[in-house]
Homo-oligomer: A and B are copies of this chain.
Amino acid sequence: MGDVSTAERERVPKQDRSRATRQRLLEAAVACLAEHGWAGSTVSVVAERAGVSRGAAQHHFPTREDLFTAAVEYVAEERSTALRALFPQGAAQDRRAVVEALVALYTGPLFRAALHLWVAASNEEQLRPQVTELEARVGRESHRIAVDLLGADESEPGVRETVQGLLDMARGLGLANLLTDDGPRRERVVAQWAALLDDALGARH
């Protein structure tokens, strides 16, 4: 590293602290949204949950909309990274394991938080543009990961739509899990459609 000035040495930990605060706020925001919905999720509630002052929270996120779209984006990125890490070789031999891992992305607290955000955005003009843009970005990234891990060849007719339909099914399974624990039924549906998809997608690429 060589010589660094005292100012620089002090700056780095401060940046780290700031980043840690930001991350605590984002994680608290997602947990809050998943548990209490949009109406119960204010910047004050999130700041308190994160153990951060309201002023510090507003320094990072000037508006409630900024905080919650950033929160859902942050966790979506974490999940994408975790999903890729599950299959470090890329296209997996076992497509059923890939389908299970993709569906799992839509059944946890992140999906629940995202669902609250989508539904709130559908009625709140202030929230709608950011959430629509975020949703499109997360959707494209999920599609790219699914194609890679399934070893699907999108130059073949119908393959793109087959994978899109799988992600739509995963989203629908997430919604079915909102009010009741739908785990046992979901497992059977996933096993069946993983087999149908394996046939439809043909040889791995």
Q: Interface of A with B (CB < 8 Å)?
A: 35-37, 39-40, 112, 115-116, 118-123, 128, 131-132, 135-136, 139, 158, 161-162, 164-165, 167-176, 178-180, 185, 188-189, 191-193, 195-196, 200
Contact = CB atoms under 8 A, between A and B. Distances in A.
Given A118-B178, A192-B158, A36 B168 contact: no
A158 B189 contact: no
A122 B168 contact: no
Contacts of A178: 118-119, 122
Given A168-B172, A168-B173, A180 B132 contact: yes
Nearest to A158: B192
Given A135-B179, A172-B172, A195 B165 contact: no
A162 B192 contact: yes
B195 A168 contact: no
Contacts of A176: 139, 168, 171
Nearest to A169: B169
Contacts of A164: 185, 188-189
18 contacts: A35-B123, A39-B39, A112-B122, A116-B119, A118-B178, A119-B178, A121-B179, A128-B179, A135-B180, A161-B189, A164-B185, A165-B196, A168-B172, A168-B176, A169-B169, A171-B171, A172-B173, A172-B175
A57 to B, nearest CB: 22
Given A36-B123, A37-B119, A200-B196, A189 B165 contact: yes
A118 B196 contact: no
Contacts of A191: 161
